[in-house]
Structures are given as structure tokens and as C-alpha cells.
Amino acid sequence: MTFWLLLTVNSVTFGGLLFLLSAGFSLIFGLMRIPNLTHGSMFMVGAYLGTSLLSGALGFTLNFWLAAIIAAVEVAVLGALMERLLLRRLAGQQLAQVLVTLGVSFMAADLCLMGWGGDPISVATPPGLTGFVRFAGAAFPLYRMAVIVIAVVFAIALWLMLERTRLGAMIRAGVDDPQMARVVGIRVSQLFTIVFALGAGLAGFAGMIGGPILSVYPGLDQDMLPLALVVVILGGTGSLLGSFVGSIVVGFIYNFGQALLPELAYFVLFLPMVLVLVLRPQGLFGGQIL
């Protein structure tokens, strides 16, 4: 019983991390119509930058949360630069854009290997959250509960942003029909930069937040990107609700798979994807952004 409860909490935690990662991925896909294959790299770069800020490699040490936020901002800037300098040159050529993101992801992975070496870096759990919550005879790590809370807060904030603000309305219009959005005077190409930076920042933040759970290692990008892909294939592109539900589903399947069939954990992820592709190719919530 305790085992299952713990596994459930771990699944929800991992789902929360995946949501932070895939919400941006899904929005970028919805708006720009391309899968951003650097998204796993952004997750990893955020984590690496965060660990550097934490460890004092730059001459000063920061609080965990501050480090996470600064890392997220740095990754967001990198994302905006990439959108402006590379993807913008290839506007309208989706295939070329996808290939460029793929090329950049390889460059990023190699640069990280060069900068931070090949050994995994573990990230200390922020002080104050190292304890446990006791419930139903089991001890749940406080930090994992915190990650769930953060994910839920971000989900609500993103939903409010999309639903209640002018920017959100413009993004929804852009996802629905970019041409019409342009006609009514929305600067869609500016939205591209904003959403790309937002998605990058979220991914970088998720990387750092995930650090105490996953640690940081070369290949983290390649571990996370397919998960984000599966989440978006499950949930439907451009859908916030879809990426939320998809993340939780993938979190459960991945964690339960790892516990019950450790050798086939990656493979069992395949099954829901197959089902969705066969029964509902547009994804569970495809076509609706919220």
C-alpha cells in the first residue's frame, strides 16, 4: 500500500515536471507549427546553468529558487535569440526550422558536455524542503510535494494568462488562425518570440526544479525530449489542458513502468501513444487550446 502511494506521488511529481516542460513545447507547436527539438536541451541547459549558480562556480552562491529563476530567464533569453536569429530567417519553411532546432540541440548538448563535463551533477534539495510529510503510514518527501504545488500554480497561472489577458487572447488567436490574426492587426511574429522565450524559460525552470529529483547529466536532453513529444502526441498540439492531462498520464505510465517492468519502461510509454494515434490522431484535446 505504502509502495503504491509513494509511486503515485512520484508519478504526479514527474507529471508536474513534464507539464512545465511540455506546456511550452505544446504552445510553441500550436503557434509556430513546429516541434521545437531544442526543448530537451533547454531543460538540460537550465539545469546546468542553475547548478553553476548554486555551486558558486561564478564566484557567488545563490539561493536555490533564485538560481532556478535566473536560470529560467537565461534560457528564455537564449530561446528568444534563437527564434530571432535563426528561425526568423526561415519563416514559413517549417521543415527547415525543425532541422535547425535539431542541429542546435546537438550543438547545445556538446557545449554542455564541454562546459560541465560528463559526470552527473547532483543538485541538493533546497533547505527547508528536505523533510518528509507523514500520511497514511508513509513518508513523502516534502520537495516532491512542493514540485506538485509549483506545477499546479504554473498551470493555473498559464491558464489565467491565456484566458484572461490580452496577450493570452492574442496567442489564442494566433494558434487558431495565424492569417486572420495578422489581418486583425496582431503582430504574430512578435508573438512567436514571446511564446518561444516563454516556453524556453519554462523548460529551463523545469530543468532546475527537476535537478534534485533527476540530477543533471549529459543525455538528459535526449531523455526528456521524447517524453515531451509523447505528452504532446497524447494531449494534442497547442492545448494547455492536453499537455496537463498528457503529462500526468505519461508521469504515471513512466513511473509505474519503471517500478514494475524496469527494462521496458520506455516501451510501455509507446502503448498509450499507439492507442491515441489509432483512435484520435489529433490527440485527446487537439484543436482546443485550453
Partner 1 sequence: MNRPAASAIKSSVPGAVTARRIAIAVTILALFAVPYVITQVYYVNIASQVLLYAVFALGLNVLVGYAGLVSLGHAGLFGVAAYVDAYLLAAGHGHAVAILAALVAALVATAGFAALALRATGISFIMITLALGEIIWGLAYRWISITGGDNGISVSTRPEPFGLSLDSPRAFYDATLVIFLIAVAAVAIFVRSPFGAALAGTRDQPRRMNALGFHVWMIRFWAFMFSGLLTAVAGILFVYYTEFISPQALALTASAEGLLMVISGGAGTLLGPVVGAALVVIVKNVASAYITRWNFMLGAIFVAIVVFMPEGLVPGAVRLARSAWRARSRPKPATVVARPQQ
d(CA 34, CA 97): 7
User: Of 46, 39, 115, whose CA–CA distance to 74 is shortest?
Assistant: 46
Q: At closest approach, how far in Å is the CB of 58 from partner 1?
A: 23
| HSE, side-chain direction, 13 A CA sphere, residue 212 | 19
**Nearer residue to partner 1 within complex by CB, 62 or 112:** 112
Q: Which is nearer to partner 1, 96 or 259 (CB)?
A: 96
Cell numbers representing residue 101 in the block: 532546432
Using CA atoms, how far apart are residues 182 and 184, in angstroms rounded to an integer?
5
Shortest separation between residue 227's beta carbon and partner 1, angstroms: 9
Supply the minimum distance, in Å, between the C-beta of residue 238 and partner 1. 12
112 vs 150, beta carbon nearer partner 1: 112
Nearer to partner 1, 89 or 187 (CB): 89
Find out whether 286 and 237 touch, Cβ atoms under 8 Å: yes
Q: Are 158 and 171 in contact (CB under 8 A)?
A: no
Q: Closer CB to partner 1, residue 184 or residue 279?
A: 279
Q: Which is nearer to partner 1, 89 or 164 (CB)?
A: 89
Report, in Å, the least distance between residue 269 CB and partner 1: 7
Residue 126 CB, nearest approach to partner 1 (Å): 31
Q: Which residues bind partner 1 (CB under 8 A)?
A: 33-35, 37, 86, 89-90, 92-96, 98-100, 102-111, 114, 222, 225-226, 229-230, 232-233, 237, 262-267, 269-270, 273-274, 277-278, 281
Instruction: Report, in angstroms and rounded to the nearest whole number, the Rg of the chain calculated over CA atoms.
Output: 19
Backbone dihedral region for residue 34 (phi beyond 0: left; psi -120 to 50: alpha; all else: beta): beta
Distance CA 78, CA 201 (A): 9
For the chain, how many helices (H) and strands (E)? 12, 2
Distance CA 47, CA 269 (A): 24
Min. distance of Cβ 281 from partner 1 in angstroms?
5
